Amino acid sequence: MVRARREHDVSMFTPTSATERPRLLAIQAARLFDGVGSEVIADPLVVLDGATIVSVQQGVKPPDGAEVVDLGGATLMPGLIDTHVHLVFDSGIDPVGMLAARTDDQALAAARDAALVALRGGVTTVRDLGDRNYLSLGLRDEPGLPTILSAGPPITTPGGHCHFLGGATDVTEEGVRAAVREHVERGVDVIKIMASGGTMTPGTRQEVAQFPAGVLRAAVQEAHLLGLVVTAHAHGTQAIRDAVDAGVDGMEHVSFWSAEGVDEPGDLIELIAERGITVGATVGVRPVPGDAPPPAVLSRLPLILENTRRLVEAGARVVAGTDAGIGPGKPHDVCRFAMPQLRDLGMDAAQALRAVTSVAAHVCGLSDRKGRVAAGFDADLLAVDGDPLTDPEAVHRISAVYHNGRAVTLSSPAVR
Ligand SMILES: [Zn+2]
């Protein structure tokens, strides 16, 4: 493991003269994947000035006076971005029950631990698409954690999917508009609305739309008026169609779930692609002996993945919205386990890496800051041992993680 603590970190906590300037940090590695390209670049030198990347060059010497870190045979790439996590869920066998048994203070402490797991696993930005009582918002600027975007409690119907998180609202246009406004007042980064039932909530059905189309549209309009993007949890075909018609920016799952199996999506594949609606595919599973998705998911999975493959083929923007936290196969650093499934969806290795870096940054509204290794971008970096374009396992061999220019302490070598 390469440790690269900056000597001036300590100056954050001790008085220093106003003119003292931390040294630049120059990172050398064997290869660089910059987040937008199709190939790796050999012999890169990435120079950081505090939290920002100031230059990315090839085959040059470090600038005079810079602190130098040589990562040897590693590949540098942007830190990973997971567009759909739940920090308050603990990745155990009963995350809902566990959360229900926790006070808000306990849930917040667990969410902090979850965020740390993500960061140590190379995930430098997470978008939390459902917490309880807006807890994840309180972690957003905490030093030592990844960058966190928060939706707060998902907007849902009384008794609807994830109602226990506290986001149930009247099923009227006024009701959802008020719910959106409350979320905006609390300072959320994105609106998450449950357009259909879901797997984790008994009494709801994935194939059934939760809101009338006009009510869903009102929620989206209100959010857009107030400057926020909306992503809709949408399993069933009716909910997907309503969400598309409502003008959502993104959808999660998009499984075309029916009572018996999985629907034929018909014109929706083309519509989703044409309108540039993001598809958060629920990919990424860490293999855990004895753990498997619920039977109802497992039996539908081949057809769900086939429909998602058609979305990729049609040119839709597909990212890994892993749903980290919802089970043992979904630890909070599960993002890198999404890569094989993204390739199964028809992406090549570089496209899969772009999906969890620059494309995910775009989805999070952070495309000017994150998801790329380029001058002017945030110094969020992941270094892995080997070449992730030719060796799919390389992403699991993490040798260094930087967030905002600071080396993350990797508690132990990351293992599968
Ligand atoms: Zn979710």
**Model pLDDT for residues 180-223, shown as the tens digit of each residue:** 999 999 999 999 999 999 988 888 899 999 999 999 999 999 99
pLDDT confidence of residue 202: 84
pLDDT confidence of residue 291: 86
Q: How far does the centroid of ligand 1 lie from the alpha carbon of residue 126, in Å?
A: 12
Q: How far does the centroid of ligand 1 lie from the alpha carbon of residue 298, in Å?
A: 17
Q: How far does the centroid of ligand 1 lie from the alpha carbon of residue 155, in Å?
A: 12
Sign, CA torsion 8/407/188/363: positive
Q: How far does the centroid of ligand 1 lie from the alpha carbon of residue 6, in Å?
A: 37
Is a pLDDT exceeding 60 seen at residue 232?
yes
Is a pLDDT exceeding 70 seen at residue 80?
yes
Tell me the DSSP string of 89-111: S-SSS-HHHHHHTS-HHHHHHHH
Selected residue with higher pLDDT from 16 and 57: 57
Is a pLDDT exceeding 70 seen at residue 367?
yes
Q: Would you state the structure tokens that stand for residue 194, as one six-digit string?
A: 């449950």
Q: How far does the centroid of ligand 1 lie from the alpha carbon of residue 287, in Å?
A: 19
Q: How far does the centroid of ligand 1 lie from the alpha carbon of residue 7, in Å?
A: 40
Q: How far does the centroid of ligand 1 lie from the alpha carbon of residue 130, in Å?
A: 7
For the entire predicted model, the pTM comes to: 0.93
Asked whether the beta carbons of 137 and 186 are under 8 A apart, the reply is: yes
* Total H helices, total E strands in the chain: 10, 18
Tell me the DSSP string of 374-402: STTSB--EEEEES-TTT-GGGGGSEEEEE
Lowest mean pLDDT among 164-168, 204-208, 250-254, 410-414: 410-414
Sign, CA torsion 75/373/116/337: negative
Q: How far does the centroid of ligand 1 lie from the alpha carbon of residue 401, in Å?
A: 26
pLDDT confidence of residue 20: 60
Q: How far does the centroid of ligand 1 lie from the alpha carbon of residue 310, in Å?
A: 22
Selected residue with higher pLDDT from 18 and 1: 18
Q: Please state, for a pLDDT cut of 70, what percent of the chain lies above it.
A: 94
Provide the pLDDT confidence category of residue 333 given band limits of 50, 70 and 90. Answer: very high
Bridging pattern class, strands 250-257 and 80-85: unpaired
- Does an H or E element contain 70, and which? strand 67-70
Q: How far does the centroid of ligand 1 lie from the alpha carbon of residue 152, in Å?
A: 12
Whose tokens are 């599973």? That residue is: 285
Q: How far does the centroid of ligand 1 lie from the alpha carbon of residue 324, in Å?
A: 8
Nearest to 99 by CA among 142, 131, 145, 140: 131
H helices present in 101-172, as ranges:
104-120
Q: How far does the centroid of ligand 1 lie from the alpha carbon of residue 14, in Å?
A: 42
Whose tokens are 């399993």? That residue is: 235
Provide the pLDDT confidence category of residue 6 given band limits of 50, 70 and 90. Answer: very low
Q: Would you state the structure tokens that stand for residue 113, as one six-digit string?
A: 């631990």
Is a pLDDT exceeding 50 seen at residue 17?
no
Q: How far does the centroid of ligand 1 lie from the alpha carbon of residue 214, in Å?
A: 24
Asked whether the beta carbons of 355 and 408 are under 8 A apart, the reply is: no
Q: How far apart are CA 31 and CA 27, in angstroms?
A: 11
Q: Please state, for a pLDDT cut of 90, what percent of the chain lies above it.
A: 89
Q: How far does the centroid of ligand 1 lie from the alpha carbon of residue 47, in Å?
A: 36
* Phi, psi (deg, nearest 5) at residue 296: -65, -30
Q: How far does the centroid of ligand 1 lie from the alpha carbon of residue 399, in Å?
A: 29
Mean pLDDT of 380-389: 97
Whose tokens are 């830190």? That residue is: 79
Mean pLDDT of 144-152: 98
